[in-house]
Amino acid sequence: MEKNYFPDVDGSESLADNLSAFITSFYFQVTDDLPAEIILSHQIPDQVAVSEALATHFGNKVVIKTNVREHRSEWLDLATLNTSNALKTKLGDYLELHARFGALKDVLATVTDRTIDRIECFDISHTMGEATIGSCVVFDQGGSRRRDYRQYAIHDIQGGDDYAAMKQVLTRRYKKQPLPDLLLVDGGKGQLGIAKEVLTELGILGDTLLISVAKGEGRKAGLEVLHFLDHEPLDLPMDSKALHLLMHIRDEAHRFAITAHRKKTR
């Protein structure tokens, strides 16, 4: 299956050195399979040492090749084309995300002068009040920060009490973790009140911008309303990039909670 990887690179190092670092990281940490041949677009400085280390690690011989011909050259050309397309797609996604954060800044200009970079969003999932899970997803202007995602099994509450579940998960998280620039909770004024109560009890209410996002008329997607503590609700148009950003984050929190819930109830 084709998959693209976008490793962190060291700008002070050469392309060949960065490629060498990725090759070793990928085969030692990501995959369990070692092919008979690895075809590279650039020769790496420690090519022989890398191939020997891989052979020792996997117990199989591997040949690292550059300057290939015929069908191997065609494979390399195809890989280069796929890389170019993947980079263009990622750049487009980044530019769209940047535009959405800019739109959110404009929308919130009358609400706060806080710089909004890191956003954390929470959602609660359960089946008929059972096996309740709280999820936290994290985004910043670089996109989702999956390593920072967290799932919380909720205990000792009455089944179906989403307010108690939200109170528990927010308390557990922010007793130990710093607040983001924007804390987003899925739900209306009720969940907003619960979040306010928790942050007040912890003495950190002023450390974040607190927003709840609720479905509007008929609970239809695209008709969401934003609720604040000290500002009138905002009803953004369906084509608002700021709304698209918050909906995407909210939906990701819901997806993450549902995923954890399904695993728990299997």
Per residue in 203-216, pLDDT (tens digit) is 999 999 999 998 76
pTM higher than the cut 0.75 = no
Instruction: Please report which helix (H) or strand (E) contains residue 123, including its range.
Output: strand 119-127
Non-local (6+) Cβ contacts of 92 within 8 A are none
pLDDT higher for 260 or 65? 65
Is residue 10 situated within a structural domain?
no
3-state secondary structure of 206: helix
Q: Are residues 132 and 226 in the same domain?
A: yes
Expressed as residue numbers, the domain containing 121 is 114-264
Residues 161 and 228 occupy one common structural domain: yes
Q: How confident is the model at residue 94 (pLDDT cuts 50, 70, 90)?
A: confident
pLDDT at 129 over 60: no
pLDDT (tens digit per residue) in 169-205: 999 999 999 999 999 998 888 999 999 999 999 999 9
Q: Which of 108, 142, 174 lies at the terminal end of a domain, its last residue?
A: 108
pLDDT for 264 equals: 56
Q: How confident is the model at residue 161 (pLDDT cuts 50, 70, 90)?
A: confident
Predicted local confidence at residue 8, as pLDDT: 77
Mean pLDDT of the residues in the chain? 88
C-alpha torsion sign, points 254, 257, 259, 265:
negative
Measure the CA–CA gap between 77 and 87, rounded to whole angstroms: 15
- For residue 219, is pLDDT > 90? no
Which ranges constitute the DSSP H helices of 111-188?
162-174
Task: Check whether residue 148 and residue 255 sit in a common domain.
Answer: yes
Q: Indicate the residue type of 248.
A: H
User: Is residue 163 within 8 Å of residue 134, measured between CB atoms?
Assistant: no
* 250 and 128 part of one domain: yes
Residues 65 and 120 in one domain: no
Rounded distance between C-alpha atoms, residue 102 and residue 105, angstroms: 5
Counting the structural domains of the chain, the total is 2
Whether residue 118 is found in the same domain as residue 100:
no
More confident residue, 66 or 156: 66
Whole-Å CA distances, 264 to 79, 125, 255: 40, 11, 14
Q: Report DSSP letters for 43-107, one per residue.
A: --TTHHHHHHHHHHHHTS--EEE-S--HHHHHHHHHHHHHHHHHHHHHHHHHHHHHHHHHHHHHH
- Among 41, 76, 108, the domain-final residue is 108
